[in-house]
Amino acid sequence: MKVYQSSITTNKSAILGHFSETPSICALRVSSMFCDKHRIELFIPNQDKLLVKNTYSRVKKETTLKEYIREFANFANLFSIQEYILNIKNPLWLIDCWADDPIGSVGMEAINRENIEQDKISILEERLLEYSPFLGKDSTNILPPEYVPPSMSNYILTKRQPNKIFQQEFLKRKNRSEQLGEDFERMKPLELVWLESTFLIKEWAEELGYDSFIYKNDAEGNGQYCFIPLKEEQITKTNKSFSFSFEEYQKIVPELIRNRKNYPIEQNKYFLWGYQDPMKYWKGNNLLSRLKSLFSLK
């Protein structure tokens, strides 16, 4: 099947990557990442003003709609949406409840238990037991990151040091934390626990014969399927990708937003897309066609 992923770089392993069945989910993922850093609180249509709060630092700033759109356009322009072919045979259903953190951050809450025997569930519960105080939907509020014992953090670092996929995921978390203005050194112990729990879930699933995870995406999407492959050979890049239409976006979107006066925008995931399908601002690029064009004889 064809699947899609938005990324700044494609030079990374596909294992534990999130792939969607439609490219529009990828575009919405880009805007949701941006809004995690800058959450709009108030829109004043007649003054073209936005009041923006950083959800991590709590700092508020007033800006113009034009400036905010330009800031997002610069962010989106870093990404491309790539098409892949995914081959899966036995996926494990997950329950999407981990927000923007690793799936292991919610522990057992992510597992759909409908078709799994209790003895197998018990095995995973036992493996996650020592990490359970730091897992859950509100895991950042259960215990502060510094409550993670140093011995636990050091154990995870030593255990997973040879694992390239773990190191890749850890670097992704570090980069995300820095982009959001977090103190990563403070968050690091909790991030390690979340990643270790994710890998314990992954290894448990593979032992049971599952080759991937699948879940319905209600955060960026409207229940569309998303897939997480567990093996590198399951996914192959095609020659098709989508690039962000930087100039067209800035030209069209501000006016579309202005025309929706007094509309509550705080939780509207389509706000940054002018309340339209985001793929209107992503253009397909067929690499093979471009290469033929570049090297054709005239």
Q: Among 191, 209, 227, identify where a domain stops.
A: 209
Looking at residue 285, its pLDDT comes to 85
94-133 pLDDT per residue, tens: 999 887 889 999 999 999 999 999 999 999 999 999 999 9
Are 80 and 123 members of one domain? Answer: no
Are 135 and 183 members of one domain? Answer: yes
137-164 pLDDT per residue, tens: 765 555 667 789 999 999 999 999 999 9
Residue 253 within any structural domain of the chain: yes
Q: Please tell me the total count of domains within the chain.
A: 2
Looking at residue 267, its pLDDT comes to 54
Q: Are 79 and 72 in contact (CB under 8 A)?
A: no
Are 125 and 180 members of one domain? Answer: yes
Report the distance separating Cα 108 and Cα 111, nearest Å: 5
Q: Among 209, 228, 247, identify where a domain stops.
A: 209
Looking at residue 91, its pLDDT comes to 96
Are 190 and 261 members of one domain? Answer: no
Contacts 24+ apart (CB under 8 A), 94-98: 94/213, 94/214, 94/215, 94/228, 95/215, 96/215, 96/216, 96/217, 96/218, 96/219, 96/226, 97/137, 98/137
Q: Are 281 and 244 in contact (CB under 8 A)?
A: yes
Residue 70 within any structural domain of the chain: yes
Residue 218 within any structural domain of the chain: no
Are 69 and 144 members of one domain? Answer: no
Q: Are 241 and 285 in contact (CB under 8 A)?
A: yes
Q: Are 265 and 40 in contact (CB under 8 A)?
A: yes
Residue 228 within any structural domain of the chain: no
Instruction: Copy the structure tokens of residue 275.
Output: 């309340």
Residue 242 within any structural domain of the chain: yes
Q: Among 193, 209, 225, identify where a domain stops.
A: 209
pTM of the full predicted structure? Answer: 0.85
Looking at residue 243, its pLDDT comes to 96
Looking at residue 269, its pLDDT comes to 81
Are 130 and 192 members of one domain? Answer: yes
Residue 96 within any structural domain of the chain: no
Owner of token pair 């490219």: 23
Residue 107 within any structural domain of the chain: no
Are 129 and 202 members of one domain? Answer: yes
Residue 60 within any structural domain of the chain: yes
- Structural domain including 157 reads 117-209
The residues of the chain scoring below 50 in pLDDT are 288-298
Owner of token pair 């700092």: 59
Are 202 and 240 members of one domain? Answer: no
